[in-house]
Structure 1
Amino acid sequence: MTQRAKTEAGSREQGAEPAHRGLSAAEVAERVSRGEVNDVPVRSSRSTADIVRSNVFTRFNAIIGVLFVIILIVGPIQDGLFGFVIVANTGIGIIQELRAKKTLDSLAVIGESRPTVRRDGKAAEIPTSEVVLGDVIELGPGDKVIVDGEVLESDGLEIDESLLTGEADPVVKKPGEKVMSGSFVVAGGGAFTATKVGREAYAAQLAEEASRFTLVHSELRTGISQILKYVTWMMVPTAIGLILSHLFTLNMAGDEAVRRMVAGIVPMIPEGLVLLTSVAFAIGVIRLGRKKCLVQELPAIEGLARVDVVCLDKTGTLTEGGMDVSELRPLDDADEGRIKQVLGALGASDPRPNASLQAIIDAYPAEDGWRSTDALPFSSARKYSGAALQSPDGEQTTWLLGAPDVLLPSGDDALAEVDDLNAQGLRVLLLARAERDLHDSAIADHVRPTALVVLEQRLRPDAMDTLRYFEEQGVQAKVISGDNAVSVGAVATKLGMPGAESPVDARKLPADQEEMGKVLEGGAVFGRVTPQQKRDMVGALQKRGHNVAMTGDGVNDVLALKDADIGVSMGAGSEATKAVAQIVLLNNSFATLPSVVAEGRRVIGNITRVATLFLTKTVYSVLLAILVACCQIPYPYLPRHLTLLSTLTIGVPAFFLALAPNKERAKPHFVRRVMRYAVPSGLIIGLAAFATYLLARSHYDGPDALPAETSAATLTLFLSAMWVLAIIARPYTWWRIGLVLAMALGFLIVLVVPWLQNFFDLKLVGTTMPWAAVGIAAAAAVLLEVAWRVVGRRFPA
């Protein structure tokens, strides 16, 4: 049970009967039987049918499927091996995404909101899906309105409807007024009755958008799609050119011409690249799921790896949620005993205390005889709360509890004392007696300071290591907090954060975003930041070209989380923050963030590596098809040859390389970075293989010349492609070296085992041409090394 539920339960035990008892068990059963239930499933992932459909019915699977059927018709079966490889790859993709779905669905259940519903006069937390039409649902700060309804009770209830209307200012709700699902509470509390549930409520659409498993808005996937589009355009004219030249110019038999055409087309398709990207992301979801990290939008793994600024909210991120009262300092000779009684009464006046007030409640329990006649809940915009109290002797007084630098005028003597305490990393609240009505807009301008309540915050033990990780990785950390700037700076200094010794009061920040961005880049700690300012600060950093991640757990973080490139919420945070965040840390540990960054960098770095392998094959395949068509000679390879080479030089090694550890920093311009290596590598390999083929055509003659020519050309192509693999596999580790050697051994086995020679139609004839093929491959390897070094120097990433 949450602290709010415990507090409310305690108040009811003391005899506070709720005004609205809610539905009875019989009424709930009746509504369930009529289907008036909030039965919208929480979707954290695609359905099984969607996963199967997206992996099977792809553009390239369709092309390859047609080519596979053609080969099955003209035979032999070994030329159709590429079809079986695609079936296996698609199966792997489906299995991995189903595993990721299972992980996401189980995490979504853990992180699912459980609204407090009042039935038979008793409040209890129930799953969202069990809410029925007419239920009385209680609300407190940070709660998300899960269904549409009408307000029954209001205790200073303020609702933020910015996710619906775009209007950032909270709306005060009174009994009888409408509340819309998708909005959330920023201050006060109350209760409402559900008037629309299930798919009729706006929440159904919001939940769909907030927690869907997506594969879009990713630079990796966008880049790959762009590449595949260009490949598709090249395939059709190439296929037509190959079939026409083989049929009419070379007068080749129809079945043989079709096999050669298929052999020229199939290797152009980097079909495994799409699969490996999906698999890498899916495995990333599974790995993070084991660390209780819910990735609500899949590209968030990639997105967080690209951020260069992470904005942190102090409370709940650098510090733990709980606090302790370390000292009480009366002002102007105020009676300490009386102060404790007032603090106890103030705590009892708020049924939904925040962390600061909960610490006061724990330190100063409410005494008998004190009664709250009116209350003003805490608001992050106001920076204070208040209550109108009646003492046991009948005296009526009004009190405020909040930020000293907000409640006291500039230059007040008490502020110097507050600054000293803040400099020690302590949090200070001012208890002040107000002279005006509690709801007077100018109440804070006329107060009599009575005491300073000194609170000690609990630092997260893992925060220092996490901040150090971001510093080492070149990611700037910015602490953005609503608390006093000096106090926040002291906390950050204790954690060893660079720049924390010069905190900035956000009230002095320039309003112009360009000027604000300059200040933000130079500072590390910002205090007294309003919710709207948090949003403006994220926008200012983005305008200056930064990729910004925002972490938070309170309602005051929602707007900034929504606008940031990546929003990260704590699992114990408000429902509103979890609804708009792409990543939810269900274990409430800031230390999980480096794991997400590392996972994203692994995916981006490895996919960039293996994409070079796939696209090198595409380039040399297109080049060979063009050269063959222009020279009016038979295509040198059969489909089985290129299936073998693709499996050994790309397919198998790419699968392992895509899942290997990789700590390289994520860099932009994916397509450009891949093509700058793939194009020269593909051209060198294609020219080397074609040169061997032409040399073999002049060396061999007779009816069996073509298989010998093909075997020599295949040897050059394999050795050259293996050298690219050897370059991609750097820096070498024992398993990377073993992987390259295992692929080389696999090809050697094919060359020496008789039945494999016959199956793949590969047999080296004589010694002159095979050694010539090796020599040409060696020359290609030298050129590949030179090209990679030149490209790396002249076109740095």
Structure 2
Amino acid sequence: MQQVTEPGLTSAQVAERVAAGQVNAVRRRSSRTVAAIVRANVLTLFNGVIAVLWVLIMIFGEWQDGLFGLVIVANAAIGIVQELRAKRTLDRLAIVNEAPVRVRRDGTDTEVAPRQVVLGDLVLLASGDQLLVDGEVLDADGLEIDESLLTGEADPVHKLPGDEVLSGSFVVAGRGRYVATRVGGDAYAARLAEEASAFSLAHSELREGVTRFIKYVTWLVVPIGALLTWSQVSRQTEIGEAVTGTVAGIVTMIPEGLVLMTSIAFAVGVIRLGRRRCLVQELPAIEILARVDVLCLDKTGTLTSGGMELGEVRPLGGDLPVDEALGALANLDPDPNPTARAVQVRYPDSPGWTATAKVAFSSARKWSGAEFDGHGGWVLGAPDVLLPPGTPAYTEAGALAATGLRVLVLGRVASLRDPDDLGDIEAAAIVVLKQRLRPEAADTLAYFAGQHVAVKVISGDNPESVSAIATTLGIPGGDRAVDARTLPEDDPEKLAEIMDANTVFGRVSPHQKRLFVGALQSRGHTVAMTGDGVNDVLALKDADLGVAMGSGSGATRAVAQIVLMDDSFAGLPSVVGEGRRVLANIERVAGLFLTKTFYAIVLSLLTGVIGLAFPFAPRHSTLINALTIGIPAFFLALAPSNERARGGFVPRVLRLAVPSGIVCAAAVYLSYWIAQSGGLSLAESRTSAVVTLFVAAWWVLALVARPYVWWRVALVASMAGLFALALAVPFAREFFALTLADPAAGLTAAGLGAAAGVVLTGVFAVVRARGGRPSAG
């Protein structure tokens, strides 16, 4: 590539374009706007319903019965604050994660933030760079661009001066420069993926499950609410009492805190991971990794550190200029890859070697080369790609690779005119590179083995070399390496079978990495893929969860849902832990919220059919919900948990909540009916119902909180203590309209609640035996 003399834009021209709005201002996808966060937490269906019910109580009832209205304020405030905290964490890390763009301005090459690129900028490209704006190629040196993320075509496209390049593509080989012709929202990728780039959400069974619960409850609230309203009004009581009874039933049916707890759990997870320098680009991504049962690792940059050292160069005989050729090849590219940098340390220059033709390295070819004026053609790459099997050089290289070293061969060729047919290659030397294992790799792999997550090591390197490293790290099955060139790509079922049965795969092409992910997914696996190189992009995009290293290529970081900013593989257990905490705890508290919903539904149906006054007032519901659901759920949703997530969230929670709700409702209505039949007043009868309901609901809390640790025991016990205070303190008793004039009625109510608790214990045991998880920790 001839040296470009164009100075690029001047500072004055850049300022003019910025003032004119011709700048690459695109919305960051890591978080939604403040306005969107406020709308999502305030303008909800249930908030609207609760607001209407609160107004009715303020008009027709007593203000103490309107305490449930505070739920709107609390839910919205807590949800907004937590998500804003998560937004700040995401946005701060997203700025750090942005790969700078190299541009030429005022005759000098400089780096700017992606949003500072302006129309007409001269953008510089090297292997691994992602194109962030559209443009026209000015000059190219072996420039190959992968446009598969845009077009679906897997083969790289050679670009020449005058060709158009599009944002969203990335460089796989060579280098070049292009002039930005479309920026910001006008760029191709921005137009193509406007919705996804604004605030995209990975697939979340948890969110979908909560949404389904809300939909089901919405369908039930309208007809049951109408029946309850009719029954209370037809009793010919005063309008205030009828409205109070109706509101109490409807409010209790609404699982108003469930969405809040889900949002808090996700937001707190993002904040915790942000403190560990893990950027979660899509909030539910932590949930997906909690479900992962197969983790695909790219060896280079994940198990080994990105840098390498040149170990030794073994000449293979003949009077060939090995040192000069290595120096010339290593210093061709002004932006060398790690292999070239390692060679440059020993061979910084080769005077007199002028390249007349060049083939840049790519993961698909696995070699690079050049023709030098007066010195012929030379290639440097994988021995098992460049050398015929059975030759002495091939055998020697294989033996070295089997020890865990990275081995290349230097060869001389007649011509590079046809990169697909190099002809006879004269082996000149074997080049041995030392790879450094990441110090945290062994412990992290041991963690995943303990969590029953299968690890697949997928690498473009020699299978024996990859196997040696896998064995050193103690990966099960690491001693058996599969050469990916022998795999049946045209038989997906057979490929999936081989992927399931083996652990280490070498000589894997970028195209095959993508096939491997799909094959594992076809077997029902939830697949996470880690990587840092441009050859990992397609697999990262197709995996259920893509995890990129912070020092990886811009294209890799752009498509990954999680970026490990400190390049530490040890960060993955933290992500897994957060995901498992979120799923296990939300499932736990969902059982509490939906038990309340179902006992309210059953009570409303019984009240509507039998025609009695509703068993308790809204203030009673506020007290019981706070002590058996609201306060405990807040702590339980944020508690540590390390159980691997399972599918079937919705049916598993319903198997617990439906029978539990029915048991609680039956006990409450029996207690209420006995009190009414015994001639007790409405206030005394409702107090009996409240006592029974608290004991039964508290028992559900005690079962859900298992397995017990000291703080869970203290939490459950303190809720019982607070209810006892509400009964014992005159002010609280008067405030919540509780009357204990008949001790026998109180004992009967408590006994019925305890009897319901015994039945609930049996329900939990049956649910657990059938595969539910009401009390797993």
Please, what TM-score do these two structures have when normalized by structure 1?
A: 0.95
CA contact (8 A) 1:435 1:443 kept: no
- The offset of 1:217, in angstroms, is 2.6
Query: Which amino acid is the alignment partner of residue 536 of structure 1?
Result: L
Aligned partner (choices 269, 273, 277) of residue 288 of structure 1: 273
User: What SS is found at the alignment partner of 2:12?
Assistant: helix
Q: Counterparts of 2:189 and 2:279 in 1: how far apart (Å)?
A: 20
Aligned to 2:348: 365
1:560-596 Cα shifts (integer Å, max 9, x gaps): 1111111111111111111211111111111111111
Query: Which amino acid is the alignment partner of residue 427 of structure 2?
Result: P
CA contact (8 A) 1:138 1:192 kept: yes
CA contact (8 A) 2:27 2:197 kept: no
1:145 aligns with 2:131: yes
Aligned to 2:532: 553
Q: Counterparts of 2:771 and 2:283 in 1: how far apart (Å)?
A: 31
CA contact (8 A) 2:22 2:119 kept: yes
Aligned to 1:347: 330
Q: Counterparts of 2:767 and 2:733 in 1: how far apart (Å)?
A: 38
Aligned to 2:314: 329
Q: Counterparts of 2:614 and 2:582 in 1: how far apart (Å)?
A: 37
Q: Could you say if the C-alpha distance between residues 36 and 442 of structure 1 is closer, same or farther in structure 2, counting changes exceeding 3 Å?
A: closer
Aligned to 1:772: 748
Q: Counterparts of 1:161 and 1:276 in 2: how far apart (Å)?
A: 41
Aligned to 2:559: 580
Aligned to 1:683: 662
**Equivalences for residues 437-586 of structure 1 within 5 A:** 438-511=416-489, 512-586=491-565
Aligned to 1:673: 652
Aligned to 2:255: 270
- The offset of 1:211, in angstroms, is 5.3
Aligned partner (choices 155, 163, 179) of residue 169 of structure 1: 155
1:144-187 Cα shifts (integer Å, max 9, x gaps): 11111000110000011111111111100000110011111010
Q: Counterparts of 1:86 and 1:36 in 2: how far apart (Å)?
A: 43
Q: Counterparts of 1:670 and 1:570 in 2: how far apart (Å)?
A: 31
CA contact (8 A) 1:407 1:445 kept: no
- The offset of 1:225, in angstroms, is 1.0
Aligned to 1:118: 104
Q: Counterparts of 1:121 and 1:352 in 2: how far apart (Å)?
A: 19
User: What SS is found at the alignment partner of 1:478?
Assistant: strand
Aligned partner (choices 704, 722, 739) of residue 746 of structure 1: 722
CA contact (8 A) 1:147 1:196 kept: yes
Q: What are structure 2's unaligned runs of at least 5 residues?
A: none
- The offset of 1:796, in angstroms, is 4.7
Aligned partner (choices 786, 789, 792) of residue 762 of structure 2: 786
- The offset of 1:128, in angstroms, is 1.2
Q: Could you say if the C-alpha distance between residues 630 and 318 of structure 1 is closer, same or farther in structure 2, counting changes exceeding 3 Å?
A: same
CA contact (8 A) 2:307 2:435 kept: yes
- The offset of 1:423, in angstroms, is 1.1
- The offset of 1:714, in angstroms, is 0.5
Q: Counterparts of 1:212 and 1:514 in 2: how far apart (Å)?
A: 37
Aligned partner (choices 177, 184, 201) of residue 198 of structure 1: 184
Q: Counterparts of 1:470 and 1:795 in 2: how far apart (Å)?
A: 24
CA contact (8 A) 1:328 1:451 kept: yes
1:349-391 Cα shifts (integer Å, max 9, x gaps): 122211111100112111333322222110111110001123x
CA contact (8 A) 1:210 1:580 kept: no
Aligned partner (choices 360, 365, 370) of residue 387 of structure 1: 370
**Equivalences for residues 116-265 of structure 1 within 5 A:** 116-205=102-191, 212-215=198-201, 217-248=203-234, 250-265=235-250
User: What SS is found at the alignment partner of 2:331?
Assistant: helix
Aligned to 1:638: 617
1:729-753 Cα shifts (integer Å, max 9, x gaps): 1111111111111111111111111
Aligned to 2:300: 315
- The offset of 1:34, in angstroms, is 2.7
Q: Which deviates more from structure 2 when the two are superposed, residues 439-448 or residues 404-413?
A: 439-448
CA contact (8 A) 1:293 1:586 kept: yes
User: What SS is found at the alignment partner of 1:762?
Assistant: coil
Q: Which deviates more from structure 2 when the two are superposed, residues 490-499 or residues 600-609?
A: 490-499
1:52 aligns with 2:38: yes
- The offset of 1:555, in angstroms, is 1.1
Query: Which amino acid is the alignment partner of residue 214 of structure 2?
Result: L
Give aligned pairs, total.
772
Aligned to 2:734: 758
Q: Which deviates more from structure 2 when the two are superposed, residues 623-632 or residues 210-219?
A: 210-219
- The offset of 1:204, in angstroms, is 3.0
Q: Counterparts of 1:36 and 1:683 in 2: how far apart (Å)?
A: 63
Q: Counterparts of 1:212 and 1:758 in 2: how far apart (Å)?
A: 52
Give me the identity figure in percent: 57
Q: Which deviates more from structure 2 when the two are superposed, residues 158-167 or residues 36-45?
A: 36-45
Q: Counterparts of 1:120 and 1:374 in 2: how far apart (Å)?
A: 30
Query: Which amino acid is the alignment partner of residue 552 of structure 2?
Result: G
Query: Which amino acid is the alignment partner of residue 344 of structure 1?
Result: G
- The offset of 1:794, in angstroms, is 3.2
- The offset of 1:630, in angstroms, is 1.6
Q: Counterparts of 1:289 and 1:528 in 2: how far apart (Å)?
A: 35
Aligned to 1:4: none
User: What SS is found at the alignment partner of 1:101?
Assistant: helix
- The offset of 1:233, in angstroms, is 1.2
Aligned to 1:3: none
Q: Counterparts of 2:338 and 2:191 in 1: how far apart (Å)?
A: 32
User: What SS is found at the alignment partner of 1:445?
Assistant: coil
User: What SS is found at the alignment partner of 2:567?
Assistant: coil
Query: Which amino acid is the alignment partner of residue 441 of structure 1?
Result: P
Aligned partner (choices 555, 571, 574) of residue 592 of structure 1: 571
User: What SS is found at the alignment partner of 1:280?
Assistant: helix
CA contact (8 A) 1:41 1:129 kept: no
Q: Counterparts of 2:569 and 2:439 in 1: how far apart (Å)?
A: 10
Q: Counterparts of 2:751 and 2:31 in 1: how far apart (Å)?
A: 52
Q: What are structure 1's unaligned runs of at least 5 residues?
A: 1-7, 9-15
Q: Counterparts of 1:91 and 1:256 in 2: how far apart (Å)?
A: 31
Aligned to 2:88: 102
Aligned to 2:398: 419
CA contact (8 A) 1:699 1:769 kept: no
Aligned-pair RMSD on alpha carbons? 1.5
Query: Which amino acid is the alignment partner of residue 242 of structure 1?
Result: L
1:299-344 Cα shifts (integer Å, max 9, x gaps): 1110111111010000110000000011110002445xx3111111
Aligned to 1:651: 630
User: What SS is found at the alignment partner of 2:422?
Assistant: helix
Q: Counterparts of 2:465 and 2:367 in 1: how far apart (Å)?
A: 17
